[in-house]
Structure 1
Amino acid sequence: MVKSNTVPLSHSAYVSIRSAIVSLAIEPGSFLLDRDIADLVGASRTPVREALARLEVEGWLESVPRKGYRVRLIDFGELPEVSEMIASLEAAAATRLAKTPNAVVFSMLRELNEQMVAGVEHENPDEFILLDDRFHRVLLGEAAHYPLSGGVYALLVDQLHRARLMMPPTVAEQDHHVNEHRLLILSMELGDSQAASLLSRSHRMRIVERLSRLMVQGHEADESAPAGQLIVPRPKSRMSLRRLRETRQEP
């Protein structure tokens, strides 16, 4: 019997919606109706409902009676715990690479880091963050072969990615970031597993420390914001759900 390689419509809808949420094309706090999403992704309402239910289980959406689903606000209070789990997985991966060097992986990491340098020069923080995510996914490539750690890692990184897009790093912070990457790659190439682990962990935790600091500053400016949650004015370049739909319909 020949197995079908057709991707279920519910999974395609899930991937499309999740990607839009993670990239902030669909903004935090937005309400989603299955009929609107069905039109957007080009699927019937049944697979879309299945996709929305899956996204609710994963924590991206919350069900609101008689209103449909709402995209969860970014809870900055959760980020330290999320980042700690990410840092632990990445530190373990860096340790393994230091003990068992892989020239191909090091070359990929170095190439991605140089692309990030170009992103700094072109003042494109969104592209910088995207490339940084790819850098760390390559670093964790070994663990990603295991469904549990790989799937959990992807979910955690996507949660952090959304917060980082809300508060993109400055040019100076981006420069410091790529320099830390260079030190991490060098420590792994030299086989210094202890340094690689420490550099990897401190590098990741520095990101969430910055976000937490900015969140506190935001609360000081807006005392009405819910504890742990803050809606940061997004850059005008980001697309709304309506604009995403219009873009899909353009020839």
Structure 2
Amino acid sequence: MTTAAVEGTASPASLAEQAYLTVRDRLIMLEIRPGDPINDTALAAELGVGRTPVREALKRLEVDHLVVSYPRRGTFATIVDITELADVSEIREQLEPLAARRAAQAASPAMRARLRETAGRIEGLAEPIDQRELMRYDITVHRLIYEAAGNPHLTDALIRYDNLATRIWCLVLDKVPSVSGHIKEHAELLRAIADGDAEAAGTMALEHVTSFEKTIRTVL
């Protein structure tokens, strides 16, 4: 599973989008390690695109605080700063419940069916499951809720902070006994949204974010 998907024949614009999504996925999952140099020529060859789409992608990723560029030194994956946990969590505690409530109120019938289908897949996950694969489910669920909320500005903000939170998760993933319970909490949340229960959805989304912060602090 990956958060980057390529559909159909790519135009120059979509090549840049493809590069952005693919590299973003690797950065937030720490497949590109914090502090690692990013060679745009090598990356372009690996992705099968030109250097221009990769450079455009890296500019967007710098805005997302996932890479940093230095004159005459190059571009590097940003360091994961654990001290940002409280600040990131503070924002997510406000925005994640908002998105969940809005999704419960605004989701289309087709989207509600997708939410239920995803909940069913999560409930059907059989142990043992690779920890990083579980984190990809976490990303997928959050993106689906943001899409269901139907507010692109809210989505942009939430994706940025969810990416930062996921990098923190992945940094300590080997120290956490299992994230299976954390991920499977999503099934109940998705069903509440699909059922249109905005109050329950907002409450569960808040509990999910606060549980994330407590788990991280426990292993630090």
TM over 0.5: yes
Note the residue ranges of structure 2 that are not aligned, 5 or more in a row. 1-9
**Residue of structure 2 in register with 1:48 after alignment:** 54
Please state if 1:194 is matched with 2:199: yes
**Partner AA of 2:216 in structure 1:** L
**Residue of structure 1 in register with 2:210 after alignment:** 205
Distance across 1 between alignment mates of 2:19 and 2:110: 34
CA contact under 8 A between 1:98 and 1:192: conserved in structure 2? yes
CA contact under 8 A between 1:119 and 1:127: conserved in structure 2? no
Secondary structure in 2 aligned to 1:62? strand
**Residue of structure 2 in register with 1:34 after alignment:** 40
Q: Cα–Cα, structure 1 residues 120 and 81, in superposed 2: closer, same or farther, change >3 Å?
A: farther
Note the residue ranges of structure 1 that are not aligned, 5 or more in a row. 216-251
Distance across 2 between alignment mates of 1:31 and 1:42: 19
**Residue of structure 2 in register with 1:147 after alignment:** 152
Post-superposition shift, 1:183? 4.5
Post-superposition shift, 1:181? 3.5
- Per-residue deviation, residues 47-103 of structure 1 (Å, max 9, x unmatched): 433332332222111123432111001112223322333332331233345557866
CA contact under 8 A between 1:84 and 1:205: conserved in structure 2? no
CA contact under 8 A between 1:91 and 1:200: conserved in structure 2? yes
**Partner AA of 2:98 in structure 1:** A
Post-superposition shift, 1:189? 6.7
What is the percent sequence identity of the aligned residues?
A: 28
**Partner AA of 2:128 in structure 1:** H
**Residue of structure 1 in register with 2:4 after alignment:** none
**Over the residues paired in the alignment, what is the CA RMSD in angstroms?**
3.0
After superposition, where does 1:42-191 map in structure 2 within 5 Å?
A: 42-97=48-103, 105-119=111-125, 121-143=127-149, 145-168=150-173, 169-171=176-178, 173-175=179-181, 177-178=183-184, 180-185=185-190
- Per-residue deviation, residues 181-211 of structure 1 (Å, max 9, x unmatched): 4544565577654343222201122112212
CA contact under 8 A between 2:68 and 2:77: conserved in structure 1? yes
TM-score between both structures, scaled by the size of structure 2: 0.75
Q: Cα–Cα, structure 1 residues 117 and 56, in superposed 2: closer, same or farther, change >3 Å?
A: same
Distance across 2 between alignment mates of 1:193 and 1:16: 33
> Over alpha carbons, which structure has the higher Rg?
1
TM-score between both structures, scaled by the size of structure 1: 0.68
Deviates most, 11-20 or 93-102: 93-102
CA contact under 8 A between 1:86 and 1:156: conserved in structure 2? yes
